[in-house]
Amino acid sequence: MDYDRYEVSKEHEEKSKSIFRYRGKMTSLTELTLSDNSFRLREFHTRTVLIEEAGKKTVRKIAATEEAVTFLKAITMREKANSLYFKEHFDVLCGDLEGDYIEYEYMPYESLYRKIAFELRENRHDKANELLRLYVQKVYSLKALRTYPRQFFSMVAQVGIENCKTEIECLSRGILDLVPRNILVDRSRWIVIDNEWSFDFPAPRVFVIFRAIRELAVLIQREIRMSTSAFNPAVAVFGRGVQTLYIPVDWLAYITDTHINLNRMLQWELGFERYVTGSYPEAGGRIKRRQKVRSSFPRWQFADDAGFLGKLLQVLKGVPGASKVVHFLERQSRSWRSWLT
């Protein structure tokens, strides 16, 4: 659905307002663009907008190209299939297909990722860790099987037939975007609001959790660093250029697998990004070889390294002869959020 994701990126917002007649009265319609996935292949290019009309809010996912209409139809079928698959563990927000868009009820609840971020900001890392533990528990409660996920490797991960033929634990459905950003929490109800990337074939369970934790590392890096302490140490796991992302040490156990290492899962992730966009990301990132553990960060390092580099660039631009260095650092300091599909 993406309407929660882009609340943190106000530069993505575009508003338009028009006046029209509704039941004999003049009223207004406000349309807020939440996301425009123009970086994707044409067959997956959609826009998501929040519409307020006569005091009622709805969300529409719109096919931005003719080719993407088929994709929208597939999404509605995936929503229905996921609703049966999730059963009592998650609810699913299903939409109504109306030509070239899907219309959804607006859900005014907070996402799981925002709840985790809030607990970290309030220095309640135990509650944040418990929320993530509950998420992992729910994922493990879903129907799974031990198999060799050939379709996942060839189509989504785009790695061909891997050398390792060992059967691995897979979710029966490839629900790759079951991440905290796409889960709204209404007390005991956990509502999945985005089912674009769900497949009818199995996908490695640990990879779904890997994507969730990697995304949290990107979106709430500041909160993770702020909450790091001797009681809640953080470990460096992800790197990109000169940037480093940490996660709480307790989270690392969820993505540690005896048969699948982190480098392999990152390779699958980059293959998935190629499946969606048609090309590998310019700076795909890496897994840190030396997973350094820290019990604190100085205040100036609360922002992620990209934020620090941004400030450094402003200084370097005033230094004669530093243009090449500035150009290199600007490429490295691009927002991690743009790296997420």
279 shares a domain with 135:
yes
Q: What's residue 28's pLDDT?
A: 64
What is the CA angle 109-114-116, rounded to 5?
Answer: 120
Q: Specify if 324 maps to a domain.
A: no
pLDDT band at 318 (very low <50, low <70, confident <90, very high): low
138 shares a domain with 267:
yes
Domain closes at, from 105, 129, 158: 105
Run of H or E residues at 29: strand 25-36
Q: What's residue 172's pLDDT?
A: 98
47 shares a domain with 78:
yes
Domain closes at, from 61, 80, 105: 105
Q: Are 281 and 339 in contact (CB under 8 A)?
A: yes
- pTM of the shown model: 0.85
Dihedrals φ, ψ of 100, to 5°?
-100, 20
Q: What's residue 137's pLDDT?
A: 98
Q: Specify if 316 maps to a domain.
A: no
Q: What's residue 316's pLDDT?
A: 54
Count the Cβ atoms, other than its own, within 10 Å of residue 288: 16
Domain closes at, from 70, 105, 140: 105
Q: Specify if 318 maps to a domain.
A: no
Q: Specify if 323 maps to a domain.
A: no
287 shares a domain with 168:
yes
Q: Which two tokens stand for residue 331?
A: 């490429």
Number of folded domains that form the chain: 2
**Residues of the chain with pLDDT > 90: what percent?**
71
136 shares a domain with 93:
no
Q: Are 72 and 103 in contact (CB under 8 A)?
A: no
121 shares a domain with 240:
yes
pLDDT band at 305 (very low <50, low <70, confident <90, very high): low
268 shares a domain with 119:
yes
Model confidence over 58-93: pLDDT tens digits? Answer: 999 999 999 999 999 999 999 999 999 999 899 999
76 shares a domain with 16:
yes
Say which range, 154-158, 256-260, 275-279, 308-312, has the weakest mean pLDDT.
308-312
235 shares a domain with 124:
yes
Model confidence over 109-123: pLDDT tens digits? Answer: 999 999 999 999 999
Q: Where in the sequence is the domain holding 26, given as residue range(s)?
A: 5-105
Q: What's residue 20's pLDDT?
A: 43
Question: Rounded distance, CA 192 to CA 82, Å?
Answer: 9
Q: Specify if 146 maps to a domain.
A: yes
Q: Specify if 339 maps to a domain.
A: no
